[in-house]
Amino acid sequence: MIAAIEGYALGGGCELALACDIIIASRTARLGQPEINVGIMPGAGGTQRLLRTIGKYRTALLTLTGEPLSAVQAFNAGMLSEVCDEGAALQRACAIAARIAAQPPLAVRAIKALLATGEDAPLHSMLKLERSAFVQLFDSEDQKEGMTAFLEKRMPTYCGH
């Protein structure tokens, strides 16, 4: 899932973006968790996803003050994948989605699964799972097609097998 942010992504909007795999925002975007300003707190993953993304001290600052970050500040904090020109976030997100859709489906699924699991698991366990997935992918038809296409200097056609 890819989020494209133009304007404000505050509260639930920020939490929705944080649930995505990739976040693209225009330079004028603002992101934050202002719930404290109305007597509540983030309730859809805002504290925990931010904590795992930008660390304890930045998360505490955002959630305890309610002050938003500019797109550049959010990018520098590691909260965004990319910052683009105003009005271009959706177009850039669609271009990235098209690029990913053209990649070998087995490898895309394996990478997404490892990224999702790896946030909360010990490094040594995840390295073992990564090696196992790598070996399985190396025996796929997509791997053979990808390597053959590379050697033949042509674009690969992946089948998901």
Whether 95 and 108 map to the same domain: the answer is no
- Yes or no: say if 90 and 6 are a contact pair by the CB < 8 Å rule: yes
For 63-87, what is the mean pLDDT?
A: 95
- Of the candidates 15, 67, 141, 152, the residue annotated as catalytic is 15
Which pLDDT value is given to residue 41? 84
**Structure-derived torsion over alpha carbons of residues 21, 57, 89, 30, reported in degrees to the nearest 10:** 140
Whether 92 and 118 map to the same domain: the answer is no
Q: What is the pTM of this model?
A: 0.85
pLDDT level of residue 133 (50, 70, 90 thresholds) = confident
Whether 7 and 70 map to the same domain: the answer is yes
What is the per-residue pLDDT across 138-157, written as a single tens digit (0 to 9) for each?
889 999 988 899 999 998 98
Q: Over 90: is that where the pLDDT of 48 sits?
A: no
When divided into structural domains, the chain yields a total of 2
Q: Which residues pair with 25 in a beta bridge?
A: 5, 83
In-domain check, residue 161: no
For 12-35, what is the mean pLDDT?
A: 95
In-domain check, residue 156: no
Whether 26 and 59 map to the same domain: the answer is yes
Q: What is the CATH number of the domain that holds 122?
A: 1.10.12.10
- For 133, the domain range is 103-151
Residue with tokens 């109305």: 38
Q: What is the CATH number of the domain that holds 57?
A: 3.90.226.10
Whether 64 and 123 map to the same domain: the answer is no
User: Is 130 in the active site?
Assistant: no
For 47-65, what is the mean pLDDT?
A: 91
User: Is 86 in the active site?
Assistant: no
